[in-house]
């Protein structure tokens, strides 16, 4: 996909988003309510209408080749970039997905093991030590110092002894 | 003078052990994020804001402001040593800082940058102390129409001065404002824009979710993309004798440093301008007023001091409208403003009356942060240079973990963390297509305030839009906004006429 195609695709996507936001805003009153002022949907409705207008302008400029992107025929995301960013985004998403099941601490550990070793190609010593230290520091910072409980999923029972230690 | 007493009180507040510790820690982190290419003050502040829930608001803002400050100093380190700016605010520093390093004068350039940053920071803090109270008092007269008009003016500066594609800039602003309306309607309390009936949208989209997504995930993806190649760190020779020599040679830079400080300060006040253009303008001015402009670009020390004094001055300048008017002067201060709302403070003119210890503690800390930033910077240059060799593949996953945990903490909802990832990927793609993201972050912070003042104004006038032009102050703000809006269009038309054809502005 070239940058030119990407700009067209993105503009159309954002235009669709604008229309969706207008429809969604119209679920609330978008006109004037007697004695109350403008309805709750009016402000987002007109903002979204403005977004749509901006997309229309961008589309015209794209058509006439006025934006630098519309004249750029290079690949939007090159193979070298995709090789780095693809696994990065997917591994973050997997970390979030795992958080729901096995909790954030184990998810962080697995994420760091994968990323440092296979993306960064660092030594096992560095990989393992960082992957172990990060969740421990996170635990004591959030749970002990801030008293904010992070999600633990099915690993919750493993933390009971630690709870009795910090509370 | 009536300013002296609160200032002294403020400095004492800043010297309290916890606050002083925050200054030092903040400056250290700031120097680090500033020096790391791809990370700037805005990334550091967005990613670390959730961490500050640990300490009281005054200590928290002092910590974040110190990061902001330290980052302005730190940016110069990688500009000089790597030839790539550590943050966009230090772009101009590479022009002459890098040639100096290649000539074996890296230490001179670093000392000059640190001292110029200190002078710029100090001059601007003094100006800030003088200007802030009267401006806050003036702003007390503002009613909802003036507030709304002022925000329109703030957004218009992005169109007039931002330099990006106009329709994309406006789109970005409007999207930020719409995202701010998700949740419950501020007047009737009705659920609004609950996408796909997901319960997570009932608490709205916290500005931090967008800020962490864009500056924590999106920009790191961007950096991963561009940092694929290896970088070369210059060698630096440091000794006390050479440092003293470097200090002595700073006499020639007095003028460029002072001019840079003033330019930076006033550019910093404008929401769209800030430290990056401020430092570029200061560099340009130093060059055009210099006796030998040809030497710029090949290692003129004034080419380092001008932008470095300007970017520090601008960071203080951008705090001025944030504290006095409630309008942030930069993306970083937009996040600080959002933080203040989380801490239960209402930014704006009343802050000086209601929370003097907060405001003056912050101002006092800026004086102290400057001193520490310069000392730490000079003392630890070799350490920071070692840090620059740290591969980004270690830093990036740590930042991602910080984003995930920090994004979860404020609302304690996984829904928000997924949104962060979505915003991060979208932010990256939008940035690649030349959509400016700073107006979006500013808009989501100001959105609820803008909507409230608009609806209050219209309610007061029975729906008559003319209220915004009937009141003199709001009319002035709107006229200025309109001028900023029209300016780039007129410029474009003139440009076209001169070229005698429909040439693009690319």
B443 → chain A, closest CA residue: A47
Reading the block at residue B109, the tokens are: 């350039």
When computed from its CA atoms, the radius of gyration of chain A, rounded to whole angstroms, is 24
* Closest-CA distance of chain A to residue B54, Å: 6
Q: Are residues A85 and A157 in the same domain?
A: yes
* Closest-CA distance of chain B to residue A137, Å: 11
CB B403 within 8 A of CB B190: no
User: For residue B505, is it within any domain?
Assistant: no
pLDDT in tens, A41-68: 899 999 999 999 999 999 999 999 988 8
Instruction: Measure the CA–CA gap between B74 and B83, rounded to whole angstroms.
Output: 13
Q: Are residues A90 and A162 in the same domain?
A: yes
Pairing of strands A37-38, A32-33: antiparallel
Using a CB-CB cut-off of 8 Å, the residues of chain A touching B428 are 85
Q: Is A33 helix (H, G, I), strand (E, B) or coil?
A: strand
Phi, psi of B343 (to 5 degrees): -75, 0
CB B178 within 8 A of CB A47: yes
Query: Of all residues in chain A, what percent carry a pLDDT higher than 90?
Result: 59
Q: What is the pLDDT of residue B496?
A: 65
Instruction: Measure the CA–CA gap between B331 and B438, rounded to whole angstroms.
Output: 6
Q: Are residues A30 and A92 in the same domain?
A: no
* Closest-CA distance of chain B to residue A161, Å: 22
In this structure, the number of other CB atoms found within 10 A of the CB of residue B468 comes to 21
Considering only the beta carbons, identify the residue of B187, B391, B400 that sits closest to A120: B391
Q: What is the pLDDT of residue B273?
A: 65
The answer to whether B171 contacts A55, with C-beta atoms less than 8 Å apart, is yes
Instruction: Measure the CA–CA gap between B152 and B289, rounded to whole angstroms.
Output: 36
Instruction: Measure the CA–CA gap between A40 and A24, rounded to whole angstroms.
Output: 12
Domain count, chain B: 1
Instruction: Measure the CA–CA gap between B310 and B256, rounded to whole angstroms.
Output: 10
B222 → chain A, closest CA residue: A85
Q: Are residues A66 and A88 in the same domain?
A: no
Indicate which of A44, A63, A101 best probes the interface with B, i.e. most B CBs within 10 Å of its own CB. Answer: A44
Q: Count the alpha carbons within 13 Å of B259 in the hemisphere toward its beta carbon.
A: 21
Q: Is B184 helix (H, G, I), strand (E, B) or coil?
A: strand
Nearest to B61 by CA among B70, B50, B52: B52
Using a CB-CB cut-off of 8 Å, the residues of chain A touching B455 are 37-38, 43
Which residues make beta-bridge pairs with B192? B183
Of A71, A90, A109, which residue constitutes the final position of a domain? A71
* Closest-CA distance of chain A to residue B136, Å: 29
CB B69 within 8 A of CB B366: yes
Of A26, A46, A71, which residue constitutes the final position of a domain? A71
Instruction: Measure the CA–CA gap between B352 and B359, rounded to whole angstroms.
Output: 6
H helical segments located in B82-198 = 91-102, 106-139, 144-161, 166-180
Residue A147, CA distances (Å) to A107, A139, A163, B247, B479 in order:
20, 10, 11, 49, 50
Residue B6, CA distances (Å) to A105, B12, B298, B362 in order:
46, 10, 46, 11
Q: Are residues A119 and A67 in the same domain?
A: no
Q: What is the pLDDT of residue B499?
A: 57
**Confidence grade of residue A86 (pLDDT, cut at 50, 70, 90):** very high
Taking the Cβ of residue A65 and every Cβ of chain B, the question of whether any pair is shorter than 8 Å is answered with yes
pLDDT in tens, B195-245: 988 888 988 898 889 999 998 899 889 888 877 644 556 666 667 777 788
Query: Of all residues in chain A, what percent carry a pLDDT higher than 70?
Result: 100
Q: Is B39 helix (H, G, I), strand (E, B) or coil?
A: coil
Residue B157, CA distances (Å) to B169, B316, B430, B481 in order:
10, 18, 20, 7
Reading the block at residue A59, the tokens are: 């589309």
- The more confidently predicted of residues B280 and A110 is A110
Instruction: Measure the CA–CA gap between B102 and B126, rounded to whole angstroms.
Output: 36
Instruction: Measure the CA–CA gap between A137 and B391, rounded to whole angstroms.
Output: 22
Phi, psi of A33 (to 5 degrees): -105, 125
CB B207 within 8 A of CB B335: yes
Q: Are residues A100 and A120 in the same domain?
A: yes
Using a CB-CB cut-off of 8 Å, the residues of chain A touching B412 are 148-149
Using a CB-CB cut-off of 8 Å, the residues of chain B touching A96 are 404, 414, 417-418, 421
CB A165 within 8 A of CB B423: no
Look up the ipTM and state it. 0.95
Residue A12, CA distances (Å) to A57, A79, B164, B431 in order:
12, 25, 20, 16
User: For residue B506, is it within any domain?
Assistant: no
Instruction: Measure the CA–CA gap between B347 and B355, rounded to whole angstroms.
Output: 10
Q: Are residues A117 and A162 in the same domain?
A: yes
- Spatial neighbors of B462 by CB under 8 A, at least 6 apart, are none
Q: What is the pLDDT of residue B235?
A: 67
Phi, psi of A38 (to 5 degrees): -65, 145
The answer to whether A67 contacts B504, with C-beta atoms less than 8 Å apart, is yes
Reading the block at residue B218, the tokens are: 């999106």
Residue B47 burial by Cβ neighbours in a 10 Å radius (0-12, 13-18, 19+):
buried
Alpha carbon B333 to chain centroid distance?
5
Phi, psi of A37 (to 5 degrees): 95, -165
Taking the Cβ of residue A127 and every Cβ of chain B, the question of whether any pair is shorter than 8 Å is answered with no
Q: Are residues A29 and A89 in the same domain?
A: no
Q: Are residues A108 and A152 in the same domain?
A: yes
Range of the domain at A135: 79-166
List, as one string, the DSSP characters of B283-317. Answer: HHHHHHTSS-GGGTTS--THHHHHHHHHHHHHHHH
Using a CB-CB cut-off of 8 Å, the residues of chain B touching A65 are 504
Q: Are residues A46 and A114 in the same domain?
A: no
User: For residue B212, is it within any domain?
Assistant: yes
Q: What is the pLDDT of residue B232?
A: 56
When computed from its CA atoms, the radius of gyration of chain B, rounded to whole angstroms, is 22
Q: What is the pLDDT of residue B21?
A: 94
Q: Is B355 helix (H, G, I), strand (E, B) or coil?
A: coil
Q: Count the alpha carbons within 13 Å of B55 in the hemisphere toward its beta carbon.
A: 18
User: For residue B25, is it within any domain?
Assistant: yes
List, as one string, the DSSP characters of B310-368. Answer: HHHHHHHHTHHHHHHHS--SSHHHHHHHHHHHHTT---STHHHHH-HHHHHHHHHHHHH
Q: Are residues A50 and A109 in the same domain?
A: no
Taking the Cβ of residue A60 and every Cβ of chain B, the question of whether any pair is shorter than 8 Å is answered with no
Residue for token pair 């974040």:
B64
Residue A20, CA distances (Å) to A45, A52, B118 in order:
10, 10, 50
Range of the domain at B209: 4-497
The segments of chain B whose pLDDT lies below 50 read: 229-230, 500-506
pLDDT in tens, B5-42: 888 999 999 999 999 999 999 999 999 888 877 778 88
Instruction: Measure the CA–CA gap between B37 and B41, rounded to whole angstroms.
Output: 11
Q: Are residues A96 and A143 in the same domain?
A: yes
CB B320 within 8 A of CB B124: no
Nearest to B475 by CA among B148, B219, B183: B148
Instruction: Measure the CA–CA gap between B178 and B443, rounded to whole angstroms.
Output: 9
Q: What is the pLDDT of residue A144?
A: 81
Phi, psi of B504 (to 5 degrees): -75, 165
Using a CB-CB cut-off of 8 Å, the residues of chain B touching A28 are 185, 190, 192
Domain count, chain A: 2
Q: What mean pLDDT is predicted for residues A138-146?
A: 84
CB B316 within 8 A of CB B121: yes
Residue B196, CA distances (Å) to B202, B209, B416, B479 in order:
11, 19, 15, 40
Of A17, A44, A71, which residue constitutes the final position of a domain? A71
* Closest-CA distance of chain B to residue A167, Å: 17
Using a CB-CB cut-off of 8 Å, the residues of chain A touching B398 are 130, 134
User: For residue B405, is it within any domain?
Assistant: yes
* Closest-CA distance of chain A to residue B147, Å: 16
């Amino acid at each position: 996909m070239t940058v030119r195609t990407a700009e067209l695709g993105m503009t159309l996507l954002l235009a669709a988003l604008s229309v969706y936001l207008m429809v969604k805003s119209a679920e609330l009153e978008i006109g004037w309510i007697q004695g109350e002022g403008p309805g709750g949907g009016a402000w987002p409705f007109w903002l979204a209408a403005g977004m749509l207008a901006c997309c229309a302008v961008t589309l015209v400029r794209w058509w006439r080749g006025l934006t630098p992107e519309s004249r750029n025929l290079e690949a939007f995301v090159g193979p070298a970039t995709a090789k780095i960013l693809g696994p990065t985004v997917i591994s973050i998403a997997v970390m979030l997905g795992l958080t729901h099941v096995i909790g954030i601490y184990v998810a962080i550990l697995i994420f760091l093991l994968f990323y440092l070793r296979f993306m960064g190609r660092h030594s096992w010593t560095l990989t393992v030590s960082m992957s172990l230290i990060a969740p421990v520091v996170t635990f004591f910072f959030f749970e002990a110092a801030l008293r904010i409980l992070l999600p633990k999923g099915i690993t919750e029972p493993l933390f009971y002894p630690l709870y009795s230690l910090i509370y | 003078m009536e300013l002296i007493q609160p200032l002294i009180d403020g400095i004492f507040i800043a010297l309290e052990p916890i606050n002083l510790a925050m200054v030092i820690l903040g400056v250290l982190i700031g120097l680090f994020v500033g020096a790391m290419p791809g990370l700037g003050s805005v990334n550091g502040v967005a990613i670390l804001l959730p961490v500050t829930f640990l300490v009281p608001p005054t200590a928290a803002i002092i910590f974040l402001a110190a990061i902001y400050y330290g980052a302005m100093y730190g940016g110069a380190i990688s500009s000089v040593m790597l030839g790539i700016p550590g943050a966009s605010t230090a772009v101009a520093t590479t022009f002459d800082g890098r040639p100096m390093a290649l000539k074996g004068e890296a230490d001179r350039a670093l000392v000059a940058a640190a001292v110029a940053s200190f002078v710029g920071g100090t001059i601007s803090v003094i100006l800030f102390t003088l200007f802030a109270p009267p401006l806050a008092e003036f702003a007390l007269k503002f009613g909802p129409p003036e507030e709304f008009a002022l925000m329109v003016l703030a957004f218009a500066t992005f169109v007039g001065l931002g330099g990006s594609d106009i329709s994309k800039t406006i789109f970005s602003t409007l999207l930020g404002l719409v995202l701010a309306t998700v949740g419950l309607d501020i007047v009737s309390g009705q659920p609004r824009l609950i996408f796909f009936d997901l319960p997570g949208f009932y608490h709205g989209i916290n500005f931090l979710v967008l800020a962490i997504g864009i500056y924590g995930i999106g920009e790191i993806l961007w950096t991963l993309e561009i940092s694929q190649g290896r970088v070369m760190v210059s060698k630096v020779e440091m000794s006390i004798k050479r440092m003293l020599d470097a200090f002595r040679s700073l006499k020639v830079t007095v003028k460029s440093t002072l001019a840079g400080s003033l330019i930076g300060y006033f550019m910093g006040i404008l929401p769209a301008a800030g430290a990056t253009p401020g430092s570029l303008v200061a560099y340009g001015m130093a060059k055009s007023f210099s006796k030998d402009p040809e030497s710029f670009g090949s290692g003129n020390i004034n080419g380092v001091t001008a932008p470095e004094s300007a970017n520090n001055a601008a960071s203080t300048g951008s705090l001025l409208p944030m504290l006095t008017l409630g309008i942030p002067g930069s993306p970083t201060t937009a996040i600080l403003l959002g933080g203040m709302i989380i801490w239960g403070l209402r930014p704006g003119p009343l802050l000086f009356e209601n929370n003097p210890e907060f405001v003056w503690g912050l101002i006092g800390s800026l004086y102290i942060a400057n001193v520490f930033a310069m000392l730490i910077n000079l003392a630890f240059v070799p350490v920071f240079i070692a840090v620059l060799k740290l591969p980004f593949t270690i830093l990036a996953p740590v930042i991602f973990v910080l984003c995930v945990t920090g994004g979860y903490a404020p609302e304690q909802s996984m829904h928000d963390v997924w949104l962060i990832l979505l915003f991060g990927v979208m932010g990256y793609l939008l940035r690649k297509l030349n959509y400016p993201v700073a107006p979006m972050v500013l808009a989501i912070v100001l959105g609820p305030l803008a909507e409230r003042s608009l609806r209050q104004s219209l309610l007061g006038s029975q729906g008559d839009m003319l209220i915004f032009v009937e009141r003199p102050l709001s009319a002035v703000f709107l006229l200025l906004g309109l001028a900023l809006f029209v300016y780039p269009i007129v410029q474009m038309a003139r440009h076209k006429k001169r070229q005698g054809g429909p040439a693009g502005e690319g």
